[in-house]
Structure 1
Amino acid sequence: MIDIIFHDKTGVTPYNPGQTGGFENAAGSGEIHYYRLFDGVGIMLLRLEMETYTEIRTQIGMIEINFCINGRFETSFSMRDSVLLKPGDMAVSCYDGRHGTRSESRFPLGCYEGLCLEVDPAAAQNWLEKNAPGFSVDFAVLKQNLLGNRWFMFGTAGPRCEHVFRELYENAPYMDLRFLRLKVVELLMLLSRIPQEEGTDLYCSTEQTELAHHLRDHLLTNREGYVSLVQLAEEHGISVSHLQKMFKQVYGVPVYHYIKEYRLEQAAVELVRSAKPITQIAQNAGYDNASKFSEAFRKRYGTTPSQYRTHANGLAKRSREIRME
């Protein structure tokens, strides 16, 4: 069961957030904490343990910005349009009434932590002009900077925006309304002004996408032996170079880079959700010894596995204490 908990810091009954509707009948468990900060702007903290869910969008013109804290988030709007998020990535969409009405999402690691910022541009612009005239956010410029002529985009959030996303995620339950409003406005101003990288052509045929998924699943399930890309390419009648290019087109990174990152993310989940020894988690991630695993983990997360586990458990304990007060 997914619990949706409203924390209305404005003192006004919140409107129904656009993203929560898809979780009503989802199979899994977790919590969604919703904070309405001012007219037209709300944030959701998502902590989920589930495999899949379906979302139906109805609010035309709403800008939705998702940021991945932990886990992986994969969404398909159609055979052509898909989003693949890893920690540090964000996805931006603006429902236009045609594209992305229905999306099928899945969490390959079985869990997900993220933040979703929902913005009604007209209402937010009006509130800021009346209550915070010194902070200029032009939502037409923000939308153009993020999306251009597209209705969705995804990619790395960048260090400056990622810092603010993580501040919001960690501090929303504890900080007062003024702090959260300032951080959201800071984030909106950054997203309006930081140039976005030009994306590559992300189109892949259904056959290419299915082949990339097959290759990924094969590599992830074969932990014991070396998997030959030459053999896999021969099985599907394509060259190794074409296979590698197709995989990067679908997943955004080279084959073995994806596998290494994926297994480190699985390890991060195990560190938090289990009491397994770090040596065992290292072996599950494909490392011969804990020191090599610790070095790779520190490069990926900026902290050692033991420090990561201690910090995550501390946050979870603090969150439980806040809910009990």
Structure 2
Amino acid sequence: MIFSFNATPEFDFITYFARHIGATVNNDLLVIPDHVGNGFIRKLAFGPEFKVTMHHYVLKDDLIIKRSTSGLGNELITIFFYSNEQMLGIAFDNNPNIQFSERDDSAIQVTSNNLSSTIRFPAGHTIRYVVIAIMPSYLKTILALNKLNSTLETITNPGNTFLYFENMTAEAKLLLKNLSAVDMSDGLSQFYMQIKVQELLYLLFQKLSKRESLPHQNINSADAARLLHIRNEIINDLSTPPVLPEMAQIAAMSETKLKQLFKQAFGDTIYNYFQRARMEEAAFLLKQGKRSVAEVGYELGFTNLSHFSRLFKKHYGFTPKRYSSQA
């Protein structure tokens, strides 16, 4: 199933998606009909500048959501919180083969609405995500900071084109899960939900506020697609460190541009991102308990297990052996 729309501030996802699947919306709630799957989509409007759409369902067919740029510039910020056990396919510029989440079950994407994107959800699996649409000026008001770092300045000032990714904390994952279970028949539920959604925003912007302040480089959908392709190249082979000239050639960018845009989008250098993903993969393999520390180290390209142990301890605070015994 493919659902396409233009990302304008006036667009109401739940209304048009209901028409697309032959369903109705009652009190801002769309119950997924049996012929499509089961679950719900709920809309929360806290005013014209701050809206939320909550998705929690299992579908019988794959769902592909295609968002086309409004063509009007950045007058809306879209924040996408995804938490699930399945990999989420996020693509830009019509490239369908990018997976954002490899072992981790979550993703946070912050974009201006003048980027086109495609998101794929697999059939037969529980889909749980929240989309927050908020005006830049309103976000700046509720953040109420006297001084913003370059990332927050970019996001809250209209006219910028941006794409940022963040990992989701365990606290944010739990909050997302609890949001979908709130009893909306309670008279104060709308008030409660607004508080909790702002808490979700706090957890995100607390992390973004700690990013290094760098001059912002505007990004287009083609650049976004290339960045995700590079990220995919990195995590597809965690046994071999990325080589910048090769990555730049794959991305069809200069080395300088690739370094700048990658760090801007993902909050870290290509090499540091690789090392973090490498350690996360090591932790995942050790938790499974099917491989020894040595086997995990060698599988991830370490010829010196002492070096592997030092890096792992730096990342997690435990040696791989101790981590494995506690998993």
TM-score by length of 1: 0.47
Q: Using structure 2 for the length normalisation, give the TM-score.
A: 0.47
